[in-house]
Amino acid sequence: MSKGALLFNNEQEEENKVVDLKLITGGKEPPSTGSDWLSNLELGTVFYAQHKVDSPNYPSHVLELFRLDRREGKVVILQMESPLGPKRIPVNSVRFCNRYSLFHEVMVITTEDLIKEQEEKEIANDDGDRLEPATGDPKGTVE
């Protein structure tokens, strides 16, 4: 076979090659593990979560502290501390669990515990200075 015939056959083979193109999706967040650990936590649970993927804005060695505040249908309301004070965040629990892994459950704080804590703070901050009615009657009765 001559060199020219060999080149001609190679050119025909290259023309007959079909490239199979497929659309590849994803890459923005970790693939779903199917584990929705957030939905299994008790209301009031305080927990640390860790990012699954390391990035400059969210290094995986940094933990974030959350409290499971309430559930509203498919939405989970989390509370987290921020420099400006407590912040409530509505999240999709499945997507949250794709991005974070549960690191440690600290405790469960019920609504009753929060009310009791607030009352204790008010009592501790009470210095006894109360305004009394102008009549001097501690009951405040008017004649």
Give residue 47's pLDDT: 92
- Answer whether 33's CB lies under 8 Å from 52's CB: no
- For residue 68, list its beta bridge partners: 78
Q: What is the pLDDT of residue 78?
A: 93
The side-by-side arrangement of strands in the sheet containing 85-92 is: 85-92, 75-82, 63-72, 45-51, 100-108
Q: According to the model, what pLDDT value does residue 83 have?
A: 78
Instruction: Name the token pair of 61.
Output: 């060695």
Q: In this predicted structure, what is the pLDDT of residue 92?
A: 92
Mean pLDDT, 10 residues at a time, the chain of 143 residues: 59 62 59 74 91 81 89 89 84 91 86 74 66 56 54
Report in angstroms the alpha-carbon separations of 1 from 5, 9, 79, 114.
Answer: 7, 11, 78, 90
User: Is the entire prediction scored with pTM above 0.85?
Assistant: no
Place of tokens 């102008």: 134
- Write down the domain spans for the chain: 28-111
CATH 3.40.50 fits 28-111, yes or no: no
